[in-house]
């Protein structure tokens, strides 16, 4: 897999308190779909082949001081210290960087500029329904995320949220494909074998109809 659950939280609208219980199942499926229908198998395989061999690292210890270039694991990701005498939490400090994921400059550029955020949004969107509507003995209810508990869901809320998030995904994907067309070859990134339906940008009416159908299906059952 290219993306980690921590990166989904960091680069999507989810927020660090969002439940990651769906991520491990969703990530490989989302990546396979995006490789098949949009990025192209050659490009995806190239990215996978360019993954860096991550150095063996211990889990970050809040009681330990770390030196420059020392690596730790935090929330499933490898971080490298930028300073000596580093006591800070890698998740909340600028004194750490995520370890570079790829061995080639082009892969790292494509990843940090576009692909990381696109995949994060896609995983977030796919998990949104299950994390919002909680099935229980009383049927399906909405988790309000605070001390007030649950309430009945309003379909317009999730439709609006998904519509805005999908607009961001479409914009980022279009920008990524334009960048790949203009600069992919000079960055040694292979040409795609196909570019299918996931690359298409659906019209606003089509998106709304898809969300309305999804709501009807979910509420029916």
User: What's the rounded Cα separation, in Å, for the pair 143 and 130?
Assistant: 10
Same domain? For 39 and 66 the reply is no
* Cβ pair 50, 111 in contact under 8 A: no
- 195: containing domain: 5-52+102-220
pTM of the model: 0.73
Report the pLDDT value the prediction gives residue 1, as an integer from 0 to 100. Answer: 84
Same domain? For 95 and 107 the reply is no
pLDDT tens column, 85-141: 999 999 889 999 989 989 999 999 999 999 999 999 999 998 887 777 665 665 655
Same domain? For 194 and 208 the reply is yes
Same domain? For 121 and 106 the reply is yes
Chain-centre distance for alpha carbon 150: 27
pLDDT tens column, 16-27: 788 888 898 899
Instruction: Work out the number of other CB atoms within 10 angstroms of the CB of residue 68.
Output: 12
Instruction: Work out the number of other CB atoms within 10 angstroms of the CB of residue 16.
Output: 11
């Amino acid at each position: 897999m290219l993306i980690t659950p921590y990166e989904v939280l960091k680069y999507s609208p989810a927020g660090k308190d969002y439940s990651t219980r769906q991520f491990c199942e969703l990530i490989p499926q989302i990546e396979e779909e995006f490789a098949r229908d949009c990025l192209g198998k050659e490009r995806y395989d190239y990215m996978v082949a360019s993954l860096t061999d991550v150095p063996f690292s211990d889990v970050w210890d809040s009681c330990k001081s770390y030196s420059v270039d020392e690596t730790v694991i935090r929330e499933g990701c490898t971080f490298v210290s930028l300073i000596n005498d580093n006591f800070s939490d890698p998740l909340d400090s600028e004194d750490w960087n995520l370890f570079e994921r790829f061995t080639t400059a082009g892969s790292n550029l494509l990843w940090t500029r576009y692909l990381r955020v696109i995949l994060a949004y896609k995983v977030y969107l796919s998990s949104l329904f299950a994390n919002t509507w909680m099935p229980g003995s009383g049927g399906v209810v909405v988790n309000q995320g605070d001390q007030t508990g649950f309430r009945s869901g309003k379909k317009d809320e999730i439709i609006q949220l998904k519509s805005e998030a999908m607009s961001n995904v479409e914009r980022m994907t279009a920008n990524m494909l334009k960048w790949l067309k203009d600069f992919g070859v000079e960055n040694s990134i292979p040409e795609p074998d196909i570019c299918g339906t996931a690359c298409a940008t659906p019209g606003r009416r089509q998106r709304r109809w898809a969300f309305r159908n999804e709501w009807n299906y979910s509420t029916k059952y």
